[in-house]
Chains A and B, each alone.
Chain A
Amino acid sequence: MALDRKIRVLVAKVGLDGHDRGAKVVARFLRDAGFEVIYTGLHRTPEEVAMAAVQEDVDVVGISLHSGAHMALVPKVMKYIEEYGGDLSEMVILVGGIVPEDDIKRLMEMGVDSVFIPGTPIERIIDFIKKRVPEKKRIKKERA
């Protein structure tokens, strides 16, 4: 089942991490895949990312981190999304960056939909979004 409208994606850089080449490349390729991509720019706080996700009513939040602070920052972004009225049950949360295997497991347990480490082919990210966004919305509808 495809979504009957454009998928909106927030590509976010959070915290003290100045490496956004990866985030920009991903944003560009997601654009070419037909998504509407909003880039936050560098050094955003978890609150800012969460507020942007709510106001822009995005389907996907992709958080890019190379600082090693993912275990501290990603849960915070998710917490604030809910606090600002966002609905994590229909929002796809992705993490991209240098994340050790153990942490990937823990992030997924916290509700992150997928973690993409350096070297991930861009098609994998695109396919995942195309599949996961409608899937999550359908599950939510069925539960309602």
Chain B
Amino acid sequence: MAKPEPADLPLPDAPCRVSLLKTPAQFPGGVDLDARKAQSLQEPIRIARVPGRLYVPLSQHIGEPTQALVSVGDKVLKGQQIARSLSYISAPVHAPTSGTVSDVGSYPVPHTAGLSADCIVIDSDGEDRMADTGLRLAAVLDADPAEIRQRVRDAGIVGLGGAGFPTSVKVNPGPGRNIDLLIINAAECEPYISCDEALICARPQDVIDGIHIIRHAVHARQVVIGIEDNMPNAIRCLQQALSDTDDHDISVITVPGRYPAGGEKQLIYALTGLEVPSQGLPIDIGIVCHNVGTTAAVARALMHGEPLISRIVTVSGAGIKRPGNLEVRIGTPIAELIEQCGGYTENVARLVMGGPMMGFSLPSDQLPIIKTSNCILATTWEETPPPPPAVECIRCGKCAEVCPAVLLPQQLYWHARARDFDKIQDYDLFDCIECGCCAYVCPSHLPLVQYYRFAKTEIWNLEREREQADIARQRHEFRQHRLEREKQELEARRAKAKKALRPKQGDADAKQAEIAAALERVKAKKAAQTQPPANTDNLTPEQQAKIAEADRRRQSQRSEP
């Protein structure tokens, strides 16, 4: 086993920044809601049938979408990785059952506007054969935290509380950052949703094993399970399991059951009295928060080798004949799930994914369950009456009283309505958790959360447009620079060509000069030939006589042929 890197170890002498309150505090704001959880808790968790065809979206988490690793016709085994993550904040996807990939393409996914996204469609072969995932880690509590993080990442685990943030990122505090407190979030505050409670009662050991693994991975000094006081069964199950394993350093603390007690920042405030900085993360104050479902998924992956291919989903509401909690494979169409819950009642009116406060309406039930689907709610008009028509804001200020993030919802509303996206950020729009308390109490029935969501997506869009504009500017400037450079290069080439021509002119001149010189030389030679040879000057009379004699002889020879 590799030794943990020094950066992984907590600094031993760093002071502990977090201490638990003796009695949990009440977070600001919030509303008291009718829990309505009993109807889905009547029966233990049922195992949902594996459907004939599963639609597994490539993006089921916050962060970059994944890339498919399989193509049409491929045989896959249960638990086999079928899509890989390409960036740090992402989570791979695994085949929920064995079968054949029948398509990789765009299919409707759970989304409020009924949009489609890339999915892998798997036709089940009914055998449900498990692949060897290699996720199991022997002696996991002695393992290198880096190894644990890698396995958590490979298992495709994301936060199961609803947001779907990749867990591997949250179990990596980073060098030099101490985790003083690990909070396990079991405060399931939204009405109807009971999947966490059902999980705790059915599989407390998985939850506790997962807590041990995460605590080891982040070197947390303290661990606490935060749970709402209106979940007595779950509290009893947890305490029983903790005393069975003789685990005394994990404490279960109940917080007042008031919506949204399960919000990360609200739970942290309730347990420690500390506030997470605006637009900051809990890790900034030495705290990490994980959902109970996530801890159980970590235990299933690292101790049993099962990647995240199923989750517990609450199917509830008066529109369902037999509500309950079901363990469902990711990619199961909602319609199949409803069918296994006895189908719809006659007066069903709305289908919602998530709870009645933070969930969103679904346009159809032909959509798959994804990793973050904690609840499917089919309600009647009596349960969730359609909102009366919105009227003007009367500035009563009730929204500000209930806002758990201590924002000014009214100001946010005005600025969102006026599309004043600079001002709205001055009022900390991005600290809004979209819990819906303000809209719940609004006597004018204003769709406040929709205004905030509108403003948030508009701002993100503006930022994206700005980035794109910057890229376009760069490209345009570069193009101009390139055109200018090309022009200069062309000119330089032309100048060079001209220069090249000029030496040719010079060559011709040189040739001319050579010719002239040659002519000169010939002329000079000719001139030299007309002169008598130079060696006939200054001769003695004797030599002269000899020459005259020779000349005479030559003459006479020429004359007598």
Q: Do A and B bind each other?
A: no
- Taking beta carbons and an 8 Å cutoff, which residues of A are in contact with B? none
